[in-house]
Structures are given as structure tokens and as C-alpha cells.
Structure 1
Amino acid sequence: MSGSLRKRPTEAFEAIEPPGNAELIAAVVALTALVEALGILSRSEVWLLGLLVFLPGTASALCTVRQTGFVAAWTTLVVTATAVLRDVDGSRWFDRLLLVLFTLVLATTSVYACSRRIRREHEMVRLRSTAAAMQRHILHPLPLVTGDVLVNGVYEPLHEDRLVGGDIYDVVASPWGTRVLIGDVQGKGLAAVGTAFATIGAFREAAHREPTLTALVDALDAAVVRHNSYAEHTGDDERFVTALIIGIETGIEDAQAINCGHISPYVLHEGTITSPSLDSGVPLGLAELASEPTTVGWFPFPRGATLLLSTDGLTETRAPDGTFYPVDERLEKLDLSPTELPQALFEDSLAFAGQGGRHDDVAVLTVRWSPAH
């Protein structure tokens, strides 16, 4: 699904779909008949212990609480009846009593475990709904359109149970043209997500206030420093943010950019692929360590060209043998539209990593002049 904030088919969390009641009853009766037949042929209750006693445990992982209760009651009833009917002379009453008690304990435990699972699933669904609402407000769904450009892309957190990762992006139509941000917060976890939120919020506010990219970047750096100061007081680790900030103005076929320790962009135009030479400054939050002031770089961005931006989740994807994903080489082979390219690159990087490779949160954006231009 190109040009959108893509979700995996499994989404962030997907509850287990329980079987239908008729299917469950049929399966339980069939298994009971099989176990009873094997018990008669073998003349041993070991079959019951191995094949029937643990049936409620299986139900607790797949069924509702009511269905698990039915399986537990059925199993207890069948085991008890079988133990009584087969012990005609009462010679092995203690063994059969232990079998019944063991079945009863497992049945009760299974119902309890099922109720715990259902409660957790409901909690995860609520958390997922909250995270989805946060995502819609923090990371605007793609594509994004301004008076200057059309931005498509794909955003994929590494963990399926987390809808927002450490990678960030945003697009703002300011009085001085369109400003585009793509970045990557150091580290993982909720602390990194908090830094991501702080950076995006500062970008949306400062992009409308600051007339130059240098002033905008200074504002972003100050926002990260303030957030780190708060994090230090609450016991969280301080973070920095690698970022690339692009400025595009109507009528000017050159784009301006400030690279704060991020990956350089690619410009795709008329079959050629170039990577502008931009001075790489320090990441946001570390400006006080810089030996030189922030500078703006310019590069050609003609009509019909596509600007490709990404986080290091793409470039640092590794194959099982440790080889890094060759972005330049793949761009030459993937002759696709700007709408299709981000998704194609993401899926190609996953295939490259395979089962034994490594990949991280990924954000890939394509920026092109809007159709009006």
C-alpha cells in the first residue's frame, strides 16, 4: 500500500479468533471418541492422561472463557465417568482418584488462564486504539500535499506491537515555502518515542515562525535539549536526533537543506540518480558540541525530479551474511513511479534481509513538485 502510513496485515495487535461453538463441540466429541477407543484397545488410562486431560489447556489458548469452561467440564466428566466405570473391582481406586483430581486441577487452571488471556487481549485492543489515535495526530498519514510538493512514502516501525517508532517525518507549508523533516531518534522504547514527539511538535511550530532553515534547526535543537533536561530529571536517558530538513520554494528549482548527521537524500531525474553533497552537522540536541555554525546547502531540484529521503533503517538493513542493503544499486533497478517507489524499496529491503538478517524502523519518503507546477 504505497503513499500511506502502511500497516502490516497483522496490524499492531490481532486477537485470536475463537472457533465456532458447533466446530468446537464436534472437535471435542471426535477427540473424546478417539481417546476412548484407544483406551479400550490399550487397556490403559495413560491415553486419557496424555490425549484428553490436557485438552482444556489447548482450549484456553484458542477459545473464549465460556468455551474453555465447556471443554473443562466435558473433560472432567468424561475422565471421571471413565475412571469409575473401568474400576469395577476398586483395586486401583487411588490411581483413578489422582487422575480425576489432576484433571480437575488442569481444567480449573485452564479456565483461569483463558480469562487472563482474554483480559490481556482486551487491554491490548484498547492500547492499540489509543496508539492509532496518537499516530494520526503525531505522524500525519501519507500522502501529504502542499502548494509546492506532493510527498508519498512508507513508515514501518520494527515492532508490530508499537505503531510509532523512533523514526519521524513531517511536512509543513510555511510562508517561506514547504519544509520537510525526516529524522531518527537515538535508541528505542518509550523514551525515544517521547523525544520523537517533542521534535515533531517543535518542527510544526517553528516551521511557521522561523524565516530561515538555520533558525528552524536552532529551534529544533533547543527543543531536544529542553526535552533531554526534562528526561534527566525523570531518570530517562538523554537522546539526540539525526535529521534532514529540506526547504522548497515555489519558482526556485533548487532545494535547500541542512543535514544534522542524517543520511543524504537522492535526486532521481530523467534516469539519473545523484546524491547531493551536503555538509553533515551534529545531530539535534548536540549543537553545543559543534565546532562550526549550522550552514545551509543547496542542490538542484528541477521540475520532474523526485527527491528520495530515508532513515538508516533502510541503508543499515543487513543480509544474513552481514552485507548492507545496496540502496544505489536497487534504485537503478527499480524503475517505478514516485508513488510506488517507497513501498517497493521497503519490501525489497525485507527480502534482502531474509529470515536471518537485520532491519530496523524504516521511513522512506519521495518528494516531487505538485501537479500544479
Structure 2
Amino acid sequence: MRISDGPPENGGKRSETASSALSSTVLLYWLLGLTVLLLVSGYLSDRESRLVPFLIVLPAFVAGVGTVRQTFLTAGWVVLVVTGSVLYHPLQPAVNLSLIAFSVVLGGLSVAGGRWRIRKNEEIARLRSASAALQRQILRPLPLLTDQLLVDGLYEPAEEDSMVGGDVYEVVASPYGSRVLIADVQGKGLPAIGTAFAVLGAFREAAFREPALPTVVNALENAVLRHNAFAKQAGEPERFVTALVLSVDSGYQAQAVNCGHVPLYILSGERTGPVLFRDPGAPLGLGSLTSQPRAVEWFDFPPGSTLLLCTDGVTEARDPSGVFYPLEDRLARWHDASPDQVVSTLHTELLRHTRGNLRDDVAVLAIRRNSPGTTTTTH
């Protein structure tokens, strides 16, 4: 399984450095250039003391994109330039003092604000790292083999968000065949992960115990409802979960229940594209809002073909201009690729399409139907 490691352990110095949008050299040239521009413009117009105060806002800007050291140096430079300007070309004494005092106060506030921002970013990074580490410990490592399936996959938390989401997956080898789950919890952070783990635990138990796939899905629905009841008592918001649940036995067909999730795709020489054509059922936790039961849909899944499951972090990935990643247009190219090749290629294309800026967690499963007589294990 290809998985992001999250923020580094030595978060402090790296976080402060990484938070700077300007290198120290660029900042130095920028400060000198802007100062010279204002001084020359003011000298030529005989108004330099009126133009120099524009520098006072610079520390506040640097505090939003740079390090504490860069903000402190910028503030010191501005105080020095303002002081020198009013001494060289003084205005009224009260105006001179007010300009110097304002530049000192704003510079100090900018340094304090920059320090607060960096500490907050480090705290968020530590929380995100702990959440991602917890999620990695719970999710089963891939690739994975069962009597019917070879499964490879990818889980990568979004870099932009402050908290990981609730994307989960699982594969269970049961007496009734191989059961597969991929799910995405509404929201992000530790509460979303708690809901995801409730679904994951219920699936691991029901997938092995229950012979009928609808009964497995009902167990997941009840797990979300129970978790929401506890969340409500604790003052946490109730959440729903989109999920796709599969069951694959020794035959050449498979069955699936779609609970409001991203479509399921098949990659094969004869057919490539979506395999489920009924409207998706209600997400887990919202089953009581509809009178229609979740439908089980059968589809052909011959040996050598591959199923592709993913979360909306794939289908809703956008490039800088807002164009969605065209997943269905890419499927035909992968009809003869192995599961690990499908996952690797999809990951590469997502990063290229988004310019490396994934805005939502990404979970992908590529499932190959084994040929008859293949000896495999889940361990």
C-alpha cells in the first residue's frame, strides 16, 4: 500500500521554514528594492517622509508568509528606515514620534502574530500526524490476497487540510467468499475517524458471520446509528457514511451494494466502465430517510479482470483551473494493467492533474479476480 507518512517528527524548525513563501535572499532583495524605490521617488518629488510610512505594513505581510526571524528582521529594517527618514527630513515633532512609535508597535505585533501562526501550524501538523498514524495502524496493509482476489491500493491524506478524513477500506476472507468495503465518512478529524472505525469494526465482524450481503450492510447501518447516538450525547455532530460493499465467491459473478458511494468500475478487455446501473442507495446512517431498501446488484466479474474502487478524493480532484480529474476517460488505457500498475498510474496522474495539491483524502482499491486454482492467503 502506498501511503503518505504525514508531517515529520521534528516538526518545529521544519514547519517554520516550510511556512515561508519567500527565501531570505528574495526577502532581502525585495526589502532593499522597495525601500530604494520609495526613497528615490520621495526624493525626486520632495516627499520621501510621506512615502516611507508605506513600509510600516511590510512586517504584517511577512508575518503571514514568512518565519519569525524574517518578520523580526523586516520589522527592524522598517523601524530603521522610518527613523532615518524622519531625522533626515523631519516633519512636526509629534508626527515624527508617532511614525516611529507606530512602526515599532506594528512591528512587534507582526512578530507576535507570526510566532502564533507558526505555533498553530505546528500544533495542527502534530495532530494530523497522530491522526494519520492511528489510521495507518487500523487499516490493513496492502497488497492482499484471498482465495478469489488480489487487492492492491492506495491511501493518501490530503496535504492541504489540517485534519485527515474518514476514508477506510477492508478485505475479509469469509466462508461465503471475499467481502470488500470502501467507505468515506462525512467530515474530517478525530470524530470522523471514530465513525470510520465503528464501520470498520462492524464490517470485520459481519462480513465473516453473515451469509447474505444485505445483512452485512444492515450491520454497518446499525453501527453508524449507534455511533451517532453516542456522538449526540457527547455534543458531537451526527455523521453519515458513503460506502460500497462487495461480495465475491468462486463463481464468475459478484454482488455489490452501493450506499451513496462513488461508482464501481471494471477494467477488462471486453468491457471497461461502470458496472452498477441502479441508483445508489442512501448513505449509511440515513437509511431511515427513504422507504426504498438498499438493492443488491449482480454483475459479471470474470477471472483476469480488475475492479476499481475509490473515494471522491479521486473523482473530485481538480486542476488549478477547476477541471475535475477525468477518471472514466482514463479507464480504457488500464484494461490490461496489473492492480499495482493501476494504482501507481492513477496516483501519478492525480498528482500531475492537481499539481500535487490534493484537497481531499484519496483511497483507491484495485481488485483482480484470481484465475481458478490459485492458492492464496490473507496473511
Q: Structure 1 residues 347 and 86, CA, compared in 2 at 3 Å: closer, same or farther? A: same
1:334-353 alignment, distance < 5 Å: 337=337, 338-341=339-342
- Deviation by residue 1:287-326 (Cα, 9 ceiling, x = unmatched): 667878877654432221111224466667899xx99988
Q: Distance in 2 between matches of 1:18 and 1:281?
A: 45
Tell me, in whole angstroms, the C-alpha distance in 1 between the residues paired with 2:251 and 2:352: 39
Kindly report which structure 2 residues correspond to 1:129-148, keeping only aligned pairs within 5 A, or say none: 129-140=129-140, 143-148=142-147
1:150 has 2:153 as partner: no
Partner Cα separation in structure 2 for residue 67 and residue 274 of structure 1: 53
Name the residue aligned to 1:66: 69
The alignment status of 1:75 with 2:78, answered yes or no, reads yes
Asked whether the 8 Å contact 2:127–2:163 carries over to 1, the reply is no
Alignment partners' CA distance in 2, 1:19 and 1:291: 57
Give the percent of matched residue pairs that are identical in Structure 1 and Structure 2.
Answer: 43
Aligned partners of 1:123, 1:239: CA distance in 2, in Å?
25
Q: Deviations over 1:255-294 (max 9, x none)?
A: 3434445455333322323655687665434566787887
Aligned to 2:10: none
- For residues 129 and 8 of structure 1, the distance between their equivalents in structure 2, rounded to whole angstroms, comes to 5
Alignment check: 8 A CA contact 1:314 1:346 kept: no
Moved more, 344-353 or 189-198: 344-353
Amino acid at match of 1:273: T
Q: Corresponding residue for 1:224?
A: 224
Q: How far 1:156 moved relative to its partner?
A: 6.2
CA separation in 2, counterparts of 1:281 and 1:245? 12
Distance 1:75 1:206, change over 3 A: same
Question: Does the Cα contact within 8 Å between 1:258 and 1:278 map onto a contact in 2?
Answer: no
Q: d(CA) in 2 for partners of 1:20 and 1:160?
A: 21
| Amino acid aligned to 1:300 | D
User: 1:164 matched to which residue of 2?
Assistant: 164
Secondary structure of the residue aligned to 2:56 is coil
RMSD between aligned alpha carbons? 4.4
Structure 1 residues 183 and 40: alpha-carbon distance in aligned structure 2, compared to 1, 3 A threshold: same
Q: Which amino acid aligns with 1:49?
A: P
CA distance in 2, matches of 1:33, 1:318: 42
Q: Report what 1:48 is aligned to.
A: 52
Secondary structure of 1:217's aligned partner: helix
Cα shift at 1:227:
0.9
* Cα distance in 2 for residues equivalent to 1:293 and 1:260: 10
How does 1:228-307 map onto structure 2 within 5 Å? Answer: 228-249=228-249, 251-262=250-261, 265-273=264-272, 275-276=274-275, 283-285=283-285, 298-307=298-307
In 2, Cα distance between equivalents of 1:63 and 1:349: 29
C-alpha distance in structure 1 between counterparts of 2:21 and 2:318, whole Å: 38
**Larger CA deviation: 363-372 vs 298-307:** 363-372
- Alignment check: 8 A CA contact 1:253 1:300 kept: yes
Moved more, 331-340 or 128-137: 331-340
Shift in Å, 1:199: 0.8
Deviation at 1:367, TM superposition (A): 0.6
Counterparts of 1:328 and 1:27, CA distance in 2:
46
Please state whether the residue corresponding to 1:54 is helix, strand or coil. Answer: helix
| Alignment TM-score, normalising by the size of structure 1 | 0.74
The equivalent residue for 2:88 is 85
Gaps of 5+ in 2: 8-13
CA contact (8 A) 2:264 2:276 kept: no
Q: What is the one-letter code of the residue matched to 1:147?
A: T
Q: Normalized against structure 2, the TM-score is what?
A: 0.73
SS state at 1:133 partner: helix
Larger Rg: 1
Query: Is residue 259–residue 278 contact of structure 1 (8 Å, CA) maintained in 2?
Result: no
SS in 2 for 1:80: helix
3-state secondary structure, aligned to 2:246: strand
- Please give the alpha-carbon distance, in whole angstroms, between the structure 2 residues aligned to 1:111 and 1:360: 32
Contact 1:68 1:110 in 2 (8 A): yes
| Cα separation, 2, equivalents of 1:22 and 1:349 | 33
Q: Does the CA-based 8 Å contact 2:180-2:247 persist in structure 1? A: yes
Contact 1:282–1:290 at 8 Å: present in 2 too?
A: yes
Contact persistence 1:267–1:307 (CA under 8 A): yes
Q: Residues 165 and 187 of structure 2 are in contact (CA less than 8 Å); yes or no, is this contact kept in structure 1?
A: yes
Residue ranges of structure 1 left out of the alignment (5+ in a row): none
1:213 aligned onto 2:216: no
Give the corresponding residue for 1:188: 187
